[in-house]
Every structure is written in structure tokens, then in C-alpha cells.
Amino acid sequence: MPDDETVGSPAGEGSPQATRDLRAGSKRAGISVPAGGGHDATWRPFVNPVHLDEIGSTNSELLARAAAGAPEGTVLLAERQLAGRGRLGRRWLDHPGGSILCSILFRPQMAVELWHLAGFTVALAAIDACRETTGLEVACKWPNDLLAGADGRKVAGVLAEIGADRALVVGIGVNCNWPAEFPPEGDEVAAEIAATATSLDRVAGGAIDRDALAAAMLERLSERWSAVTGGERARAHVMSEYRGRCATIGRAVRVELPDDETFTGTAVDVDDRGRLLVDVGYCIRTVEAGDVIHVR
Ligand code: BTN
């Protein structure tokens, strides 16, 4: 896979990202909430998403809205991203109308060391929603990739970014419905994606109702986040639930660190700070950020 790609859903015919000015795309439809808030009395955090047609990146847009004063619980959902971003500086490609492309604004009233809980909470809410609306059991690959199917292929990824004034934006991209002809013949980028990723419809064997899945994910997120902000026990519980869903624990892994160092070992745990613990034979290494490949 090229270094600047990340597994996601396809870029669509002719890979529009390659041919358009990526900064130009922000044609919007259905915006119901002004950038700085201004919600009506029925608005509830997390469960009243703003629907966008086309945007560069929902994460970038939400970081801008956060800087303009948007409140916690502001959520953007886009049909299509022209400059979707993945972890570690990679791109996130989507097939227009086939994914959930969602960003959620948190303003955590807790120590920065605990902010990782937001990403894990979003991943767990997506797992809940998959079970509830598709019947699929989805697992996590550390830190927040979601895997589905017998061979554990990536169906979703999470990108958390910190903005000004204690803003934390967590974006999630879920591959829901891939076209039958994906990857198109001769499209190397698409072939790279399809080598390790898949879509929920392919695993479920039928079309996924994106609206139902997104709505369930946001409801579960709202419940889970109120629990997390409610106390220490609930916070500890999130990480223990995460560990129960984490397919990385117990696996032989190759870890690629952001500084290009690579090592192998056995993933033995994820601590309450969200760090992966890897037994490398002579010691346990603690991984804060990086890419993990399940090697067996
Ligand atoms: C990963 O690399 O696995 C994380 C991918 C995160 C993609 C989502 S799609 C919605 C949001 N907007 C972005 O630009 N990225 C995230």
C-alpha cells in the first residue's frame, strides 16, 4: 500500500481526489446548524448531526467550527469527502454515498491524559451500532480500526485531532456499501485497499442502511459519553469493554512507529491510558502511537 494511502472505501471512478483541487470542495446541503452553535430547543448533543453533501474533510470542517465556538456534541456527516484524512498523515478515500463519514466534537472536562477515551468510546459505539442494525460482530484492531468478517478486514477507521480551546474532534469513516465492481480492473490504489479492507455489505451479504447505522452509533455514543463523563468507574469500564473487543490482544504483531522504527512481538494488553503493551521477549514495550499489523 502506498505510504500516503490508508484503507478505506474506494475513491470512486477516476479517483476524483487525484484530479480536483482538494481545497475547493465544500458544496454543502442540508446544513441545519450555524458554525458557532445557535441550536434550537430540541437540539441534543451528539444525536442531531449536520448533513453535508460534499466537503474536503469533515474533521477539518469541524475543527474550524470548533474554533468558531461550536458546542460539544456537534456532529458532521458527509456524503462524500474530497480530501478525507486518515491516521499518520494518510489519505482516507471514500466511495460517494457508500460510507459513513462522520466527525464528532468533544470538549472534554477531564485531564488531557484521558482524552483518548473519546476515540475508544466512538469505536465502541460503532461496534454497538453494527451489532444492533446489521447483526455483525465487529472487533477493534488497536487503536481504533474496526475489523469484520472471518478474516478480520478493516471496515472502519478513527482519527482523533485536538483543536484550540479544549476541542477534540473524533472522525470515523465506515465502509458501508461498496459497488459490486470494486476494485475496478487496473486500479492499483483500489486493489491495495481491497487487499486488506472490506465493506459491511460484503460481510453481511446485503445492503447496509447507513442512516440507521449512523443514527444508532450516535445514540450509543451519547449514552456512553455521558457515562464516561460521569465518573471514574465508568471510565475504567470503557477501557475494559474495549479490551474485550480488541482483536490485537494476544496476537503476534508488527509495530511501525511514527519515527519509522519497526519491531515485532506479542500484544499482551492495552492499558487504561489506551497504550498497547507488546512483549518483545526481553521486555514489555509500551506503544502510544503507531501502526500495528497482525502477523498471525
Ligand atoms: C484511519 O486512518 O484509519 C482513520 C480514518 C478516519 C477517516 C474519517 S472519515 C470522517 C473523518 N474526516 C476525515 O477527514 N477523516 C475522518
Which residue of 122, 172, 198, 256 sits with most ligand 1 atoms within 8 Å of its CB, as the best mutation to test the pocket? Answer: 172
Q: Are strands 252-256 and 291-294 parallel, antiparallel or unpaired?
A: antiparallel
Q: So what's the pLDDT on residue 8? A: 57
- C-alpha to C-alpha distance for 105 and 161, rounded to whole angstroms: 10
Average pLDDT score over residue span 61-83: 98
Q: What is the Å distance from ligand 1's center to 174 Cα?
A: 9
Q: So what's the pLDDT on residue 109? A: 94
**Buried residues in 156-178 as b, exposed as e (16+ CB within 10 A):** bbbbbbebeeebbbbbbbbbbbb
Q: Does ligand 1 lie within 6 Å of residue 225's CB atom?
A: no
pTM value > 0.75 = yes
| Nearest-CA residue for atom 2 of ligand 1 | 86
Average pLDDT score over residue span 71-79: 98
Could you give phi then psi for residue 159, rounded to 5 degrees?
-130, 115
**Residue among 261, 260, 250, 257 at smallest CA distance from 295:** 250
Q: What is the Å distance from ligand 1's center to 271 Cα?
A: 24
| Nearest-CA residue for atom 16 of ligand 1 | 171
Q: What is the Å distance from ligand 1's center to 280 Cα?
A: 30
| pLDDT one-digit tens code per residue, 202-226 | 999 999 999 999 999 999 999 999 9
Q: What is the Å distance from ligand 1's center to 281 Cα?
A: 34
| Nearest-CA residue for atom 9 of ligand 1 | 173
| pLDDT one-digit tens code per residue, 237-283 | 999 999 999 999 999 999 999 999 999 999 999 999 999 999 999 99
Average pLDDT score over residue span 75-93: 95
* Strand partners for 148: 153
pLDDT over 90 for what percent of the chain? 81
| pLDDT one-digit tens code per residue, 129-181 | 999 999 999 999 999 999 999 999 999 999 999 999 999 999 999 999 999 99
- C-alpha to C-alpha distance for 160 and 163, rounded to whole angstroms: 10
